[in-house]
Chains A and B, each alone.
Chain A
Amino acid sequence: MELKDKLLSSFIAFEDNVDVEHAVHNIRSAAIKNFELKGFPSKKEEAWKYTSLNNIQKVDFSIFPKGDVDIEYKDVKKYFIHDIDTYKIVFIDGVYSSHLSETTHDGVDVCLLSAALTKPMYAQVIDVYFNKIASKDESLTTLNTAFSKEGAYIYIPKNKMPKKPIEILNFATGNEASLILQPRNLIVVEENAEVQIIERHQSLTGNQILTNAVTEIFAATSAIVDYYKIQDDASTASLIDNTYVDQQSKSNVSVHTFSFGGKLTRNNLNFYQNGEYMDSVMKGVTILNKKQHVDHHTLVHHIEPNCESHQDYKGIYGDSATGVFNGKIIVDKLAQKTNAFQQNNNILISDKATINTKPQLEIFADDVKCSHGCTIGQLDEDALFYMQSRGIPKKEARALLMYAFANNVLESVRIPELKARVNGLIAKKLAVNLGFDI
């Protein structure tokens, strides 16, 4: 059976396990209809020109995991930012793990979407926010919406800030030969509230995993949200990440995406600026080798005046790795005095590595500052010689240059322990001892 058909027929089984009378189920039903109509995107579509899902569709994925698999904290400790205290929302094969998690209702809600979707006390928030910014049209987003049931639910009331950062971890155990996971996260940050979130998808075996995730983030007036995505998954795990951000006036939302692993990764990152005097920050470091593929599709929609957006993506591609950066900026006619900056710099360290990079600007206002730049280069030979002449071997010199190239994206990371962790991942990915403390 084709994967699409399998998913469609699974939806009927899925309905047996959810409350079909609940208002949310109307949203799911509409979503599955859209997916039925659209199916998986093909390379004929402009947005999927460089990323093929053909091979993924050939895999006979399990849609529902067999159930309780337990893992011990000591076996997965390294995937947590364990050197600081955090709230943790942990899923194993899509199922909430209470013993690995640390949730809270102390002034803020850091808990489960499954609870929020079913308990009356959350009904109002769900009614106002759930699926309000996620696309009702994009096929993979609607596929996730159709099966939406579990994920992280984070609600930060007005003027609040959780005591510590929040980690969302999705582990896949390989209990199934191949498995689809569809986590659904809802993050609502009310006026003048603040939150820091670190998200990670991690397969623990070499079995095939496809994660099709959707995260909705709502940042109210003057809210601050820092979201960090660590993508360092096993070489048999693929990820399609759909993140939608709704921002109100004076809010500041940043999303950092660190892509070092996985087989195929597609990041659809969408910002909608529904207010004035705000800033949207999108940053990424991508370091790939072997046959890895990462596709960053960003969108920032400037709807109202006096706002800023900053995009800075750096990529290093070795072996036969392929990368895509497509950065779309829309500036509406109303959105005067917009400052939109976009930068994508890439280094190819192998003849077989490929990067396709494309800025896509649609500007309808006349008093705006928009800049974009993309570069593709090799490492600077003069810089290498300079470092060698000081006694640094070529291999280390190359690594140091690449490290430096990627490093300035990390300057805006506001959790020092996370910055150190990502620095370590960069050093590991570049297979080098940098010779100094990071």
Chain B
Amino acid sequence: MLTIKNLHAQITDKEILKGINLEVKAGEVHAIMGPNGSGKSTLASVIAGKEEFEVTKGSVVLEGEDLEDVSPEERAHKGVFLSFQYPIEIPGVSVTNFIKTAINESRKARGLKDMPANEMLKLIREKAELLEIDRKFLSRSLNQGFSGGEKKRNEIFQMAMLEPKVAILDETDSGLDIDALRIVANGVNKLKSKDNAVIVITHYQRLLDYIVPDFVHVLHNGKIVKSGGKELAMELEEKGYDWIKQEAAV
């Protein structure tokens, strides 16, 4: 579904990704772990098409299509979703209006008409329930004054609405208490199917107790230095990242 080959990316002449290889198939959950500054969030941004990062080598291919020169919004239309580590506050635009706009823009890109209002309302209600979001919350300005947990729940709510093929969850567990973590993870698990894939980017193993990965990759200094099954995450939790760094240095 998503194939990343020898991906190099830089920002203002500083190379951050130094040759990433990753193959994500439909139905799989991949976890990308690694110490701070290893390039995890950059990888997420590059997949989503953030223009500040320059891809100097390699490719990101979604269902056989090279995403080079594909704008972030077109990537979204093709099924890429990035849940932000720090969702942006947009005062003056309600959660409902924002998601309506996003849904209808995606439909427009696929040559479809706007979703009828009653259908939209029904869908919003259904997905809000999944994330245990109440109706008042939906009329608030997007992310403005939201708690950490509310922001992340809202991200997964949007993911539920947009039904992406590849969802990248960037540090979705940060700033969450245990209840919010459970709600968010539960939401993600319910959205998972054999037709989509999830990439979980996290520093800690905690989230992986809830969203169980098929593969775990360790990113260090812009490269995947180790891959394994879910037991690798446990090992990292126990031993920290130092042994990985040492192994990589050899």
- A residues contacting B by CB (< 8 A) are 380-383, 385-394, 396-397, 400-401, 403-408, 434-436
Q: A388-B71, A390-B98 are in contact. List 4 more A-B contacts (CB 8 A).
A: A386-B90, A389-B82, A405-B92, A406-B92
Within 8 A of A (CB), among B69-125: 71-73, 75-77, 80-82, 84, 87-88, 90-93, 97-106, 109, 114
> Which of chain A's residues have a CB closer than 8 A to the CB of B87?
386
Q: Which A residue sits closest to B107, measured CB to CB? A: A391
Size category of the binding interface on chain B: 35 or more
CB–CB A408/B91 < 8 A? yes
Which residues of B line the A interface, CB within 8 A?
48-52, 71-73, 75-77, 80-82, 84, 87-88, 90-93, 97-106, 109, 114, 141, 158, 162
Closest B residue to A407 by beta carbon equals B92
Q: If the complex has contacts A382-B88, A386-B84, A391-B109, are A435 and B73 also in contact, measured as CB distance less than 8 A? A: no
Q: How far, in whole Å, are A408 and B89 apart by their CA atoms in the complex?
A: 14
Select the residue from A387, A389, A393 with max chain B CB neighbours within 10 A: A389
Is A388 a contact of B73 with CB atoms below 8 Å?
A: yes
* A222 smallest CB distance to B (angstroms): 32
Q: Bound state CA distance, A394 and B97, in angstroms?
A: 17
* B50 x A385 contact (CB < 8 A): yes
Q: Chain A nearest CB: distance from B158 CB in Å?
A: 6
Contact A391 B91 (CB under 8 A): no
The answer to whether A435 touches B88, judged by C-beta atoms less than 8 angstroms apart, is no
A391 touching B90 by the CB < 8 A rule? no
20 A-B contacts, Cβ less than 8 Å apart?
Answer: A380-B88, A382-B88, A383-B88, A386-B84, A387-B90, A388-B49, A389-B72, A390-B98, A391-B73, A392-B101, A392-B102, A392-B105, A393-B71, A396-B101, A400-B93, A400-B101, A403-B93, A404-B90, A404-B141, A434-B101
B50 contacts across to A, CB distance below 8 A: 385
A317 to B80, CA, bound (A): 34
Contact pick for A435, options B72, B77, B92, B105, CB 8 Å:
B105
Q: A385-B72, A386-B87, A436-B97 are in contact. Are A391 and B92 (CB under 8 A)?
A: no
Query: Given the complex, which residues of A lie within 8 Å of B101, measured CB to CB?
Result: 392, 396, 400, 434-436
| Residues A394 and B71 in contact in the complex (CB < 8 Å), given A400-B101, A435-B104, A436-B101 | yes
Query: With A and B bound together, what is the CA distance between A392 and B98 in angstroms?
Result: 9
Q: In the complex, A436→B101 CA distance in Å?
A: 6
Give which listed residue, B81, B88, B105, contacts A386 with CB less than 8 A: B88
Contact flag A390-B102 (CB < 8 Å), given A383-B88, A385-B50, A385-B72: yes
Question: In whole angstroms, what is the CA distance A393 to B49 when docked?
Answer: 13
Minimum distance in angstroms from B164 CB to a CB of chain A: 10
Q: How far is the CA of A350 from the CA of B25 in the complex (A)?
A: 44
Q: Which residues of A contact B88 (CB under 8 A)?
A: 380, 382-383, 386
**Chain A nearest CB, measured from B127 CB (Å):** 14
Q: In the docked arrangement, what's the CA distance between A405 and B97, Å?
A: 15
The CA-CA distance from A397 to B82 in the complex, in Å, is 17
**Alpha-carbon separation in the docked complex, A392 to B76 (Å):** 9
Min C-beta distance of B130 to chain A, whole Å: 18
What residue of chain A has the Cβ atom nearest to residue B104's Cβ?
Answer: A435
Most A Cβ at <10 Å: residue of B98, B99, B101, B114: B101
Please indicate the chain B residues that have their CB under 8 angstroms from the CB of A389 in the complex: 48-49, 72-73, 75-76, 80-82, 84
Bound state CA distance, A434 and B114, in angstroms?
A: 12
Question: Is the pair A436, B92 in contact by a Cβ cutoff of 8 Å?
Answer: no
Verify B77–A408 contact, CB threshold 8 A.
no
- Chain A min CB distance to B161 (Å): 9
Contact: A390 with B76, CB < 8 Å?
yes
Question: Inside 8 A of A434's CB, which chain B residues have their CB?
Answer: 101
Whether A391 and B76, one on each chain, are in contact in the complex, defined by CB atoms closer than 8 angstroms, is yes
- A411 to B, closest residue via Cβ: B92
* 8 cross-chain pairs, A with B, having the tightest CB-CB distances, nearest first: A404-B92, A391-B76, A388-B72, A407-B92, A435-B101, A386-B88, A390-B102, A391-B106
Give the Cβ gap from B11 to chain A, nearest Cβ, in Å: 13
B residues in contact with A397, CB < 8 Å: 73
In the complex formed, the residue of A with least CB distance to B106 is: A391
**Cα–Cα, bound, A164→B97 (Å):** 31
- Highest count of chain A CB atoms <10 Å: which of B49, B91, B105: B105
Given contacts A396-B101, A434-B101, contact A403 B92 (CB under 8 A): yes
Q: Do A390 and B91 touch (CB < 8 A)?
A: no
User: A405 to B91, alpha carbons, bound, how many Å?
Assistant: 7
CA distance A405 to B88 in the complex (A): 14
Distance, CA A406 to CA B93, complexed state (A): 11
Contact pick for B162, options A382, A391, A403, CB 8 Å: A391
Given the complex, which residues of A lie within 8 Å of B141, measured CB to CB? 404
The listed residue (B52, B77, B93, B114) touching A391 by CB distance below 8 A is B77
- Expressed in whole angstroms, the minimum distance between the Cβ of A316 and any Cβ of chain B is 13
Question: Which of B92, B98, B104 has the most chain A CB atoms closer than 10 A to its own CB?
Answer: B92
Taking the closest CB of chain B, its distance from the CB of A392, in whole angstroms, is 5
Chain B residues within 8 Å of A381, by CB: 52
B102–A391 CB distance below 8 A: yes
Q: Quote the shortest CB–CB distance from B234 to chain A (angstroms).
A: 32
Please state if A391 and B105 are interface contacts (CB–CB under 8 Å). yes
CB neighbours (8 Å) of B51 from chain A are 385
What residues of B have a CB within 8 angstroms of the CB of A435 in the complex?
A: 100-101, 104-105, 114
